[in-house]
Amino acid sequence: MDRAVYREMKLTPAVWGIAAVLGALIAAAGLAVLYIEHHGHVVTGMTNQIVWGLPHVFAIFLIVAASGALNVASIASVFGKIENKPMARFSGLLSLALLAGGLAVLVLDLGRPDRLLVTLTHANFKSIFAWNIYLYSGFFAVVGAYIYVQMARGMDPAVVKKVGTAAFVWRLALTTGTGSIFGWLVARPGYDAAIMAPMFIVMSFSFGLAFFLLTISLLYKLSGRYIGPNLVKRLGRLLGIFAAGVLYFSAVRHLTNLYAAEHWDVESFILFSGGFYTQLFWIGQVLIGGVIPMLLLFKHTDGANRGNVLIASVLIIIGGFAHIYGIVIGGQAFPLEIFPNYTASSSFFDGQINGYTPTLLEWALGLGGVAVTLLLTGLGVVALRILAMNLSDRNIDPEDVDF
């Protein structure tokens, strides 16, 4: 294989321009947070019915994508795919940046973000939230170490493999924790399903790889470096398999619910009568996020060419966002079933489908998280030798059957 040579990315005017836009987005998010904290969450679209809103959709999307962005590195270190090795450093960096962006949104949407340290002084280990705090912090440490051993001179490859395996196991635990936030909510008919945890893992594979493909393509274009078409094609095919996996888990989740009469009402809401949420599911998640990308990625005539892979990545991110929006907001829009067999009404909106319209403040906060991710990624590749000078197809093992 070619010897991978890593170099910092040069600061060109185009890079500065993008950094300025990201900086403005982060500043807007900062102002939104100050405004919300001063006036209270009444200035957002969130209510006592929809208690988690758009910021949580952004945060969960980024956190889920974070563990998935580590895939490329895991495939190299743990599963020995040599062609992925030159991308492994970037894979680690992007996963850390995604997690940082997601956590920033999550933390800044708290009612009392100033009390964040209380989570360390008063931990309740029966809470999956408390566990996640350690899973997220640990992820920074483990993946940080993983990047270090990859970059350190003269490091024994066996060590890289061991640390890479630890990072792989950790990322599985992390996404299990994120999925369990919803899977363990027994009170709400839209959640309360053990399949949430493995489904979130497959979602992370898909969203994370899509985000990886888009960012690495942009950075290589900005820095005038080369990525081999077969490398993109192979990652694209993998992305297609992950997208199919997400559809499979979603199908199993909904079919399992449809089998139980107690879940018919909520399933009917999501799949048929839920208006916006039904469209979000069929058009957003299934069509845009699943079927169309799979058609693009598995097209055999010209293979998954670069253009198709990038379009599919964008669609998977849009569909993934719709998927998480449907889980987070759709699950709350459907009312709690406190009184089975009764229709309920009250001044607190019992028995009603709850509406939610996010405000500009929530969009600003969420997009700020994405900007944090991209800016940190940019800082990483500018300051450190993360990106290989070229990602040649020559690194692909000729013995490896192209699927």
Question: What residues line the site for another protein (CB under 8 A)?
Answer: 37, 39-42, 46-49, 51-52, 110-113, 115-116, 118-119, 122-124, 126-130, 133, 181, 184-188, 332, 336, 338-339, 341-350
**In the complex, what is the shortest distance from the CB of residue 358 to another protein, in angstroms, rounded to a whole number?**
14
Q: Which two tokens stand for residue 187?
A: 């009170």
**In the complex, what is the shortest distance from the CB of residue 106 to another protein, in angstroms, rounded to a whole number?**
9
- Yes or no: say if 294 and 243 are a contact pair by the CB < 8 Å rule: yes
In the bound state with another protein, the residue whose beta carbon lies nearer, of 47 and 217, is 47
In the bound state with another protein, the residue whose beta carbon lies nearer, of 48 and 301, is 48
In the bound state with another protein, the residue whose beta carbon lies nearer, of 191 and 220, is 191
**In the complex, what is the shortest distance from the CB of residue 132 to another protein, in angstroms, rounded to a whole number?**
8
Half-sphere exposure of 141 (CA within 13 A, CB side): 7
**In the complex, what is the shortest distance from the CB of residue 357 to another protein, in angstroms, rounded to a whole number?**
11
**In the complex, what is the shortest distance from the CB of residue 175 to another protein, in angstroms, rounded to a whole number?**
18
**In the complex, what is the shortest distance from the CB of residue 271 to another protein, in angstroms, rounded to a whole number?**
21
Which bin fits 355, alpha (ψ -120 to 50), beta or left (φ > 0)? Answer: beta
In the bound state with another protein, the residue whose beta carbon lies nearer, of 8 and 37, is 37
**In the complex, what is the shortest distance from the CB of residue 48 to another protein, in angstroms, rounded to a whole number?**
5
Burial of 49 (0-12, 13-18, 19+ CB in 10 A): middle
In the bound state with another protein, the residue whose beta carbon lies nearer, of 42 and 401, is 42
How many CB atoms neighbour CB 329 within 10 A?
A: 24
**In the complex, what is the shortest distance from the CB of residue 337 to another protein, in angstroms, rounded to a whole number?**
8
- 227 phi and psi angles, rounded to 5 deg: -120, 130
- Yes or no: say if 76 and 87 are a contact pair by the CB < 8 Å rule: yes
Burial of 297 (0-12, 13-18, 19+ CB in 10 A): buried
**In the complex, what is the shortest distance from the CB of residue 38 to another protein, in angstroms, rounded to a whole number?**
9
Which bin fits 303, alpha (ψ -120 to 50), beta or left (φ > 0)? Answer: left
In the bound state with another protein, the residue whose beta carbon lies nearer, of 94 and 106, is 106
Which bin fits 249, alpha (ψ -120 to 50), beta or left (φ > 0)? Answer: alpha
In the bound state with another protein, the residue whose beta carbon lies nearer, of 42 and 158, is 42
Taking every pair of Cα atoms in the chain, the longest distance, rounded to a whole number of angstroms, is 70
- Yes or no: say if 356 and 48 are a contact pair by the CB < 8 Å rule: no
Q: How far apart are CA 1 and CA 19, in angstroms?
A: 34
In the bound state with another protein, the residue whose beta carbon lies nearer, of 188 and 225, is 188
In the bound state with another protein, the residue whose beta carbon lies nearer, of 301 and 347, is 347
Which element (helix H / strand E) includes 157? helix 157-183
- Computed over its alpha carbons, how large is the radius of gyration of the chain? 21
Q: Which two tokens stand for residue 163?
A: 């640390």
Q: Which two tokens stand for residue 316?
A: 């998977």
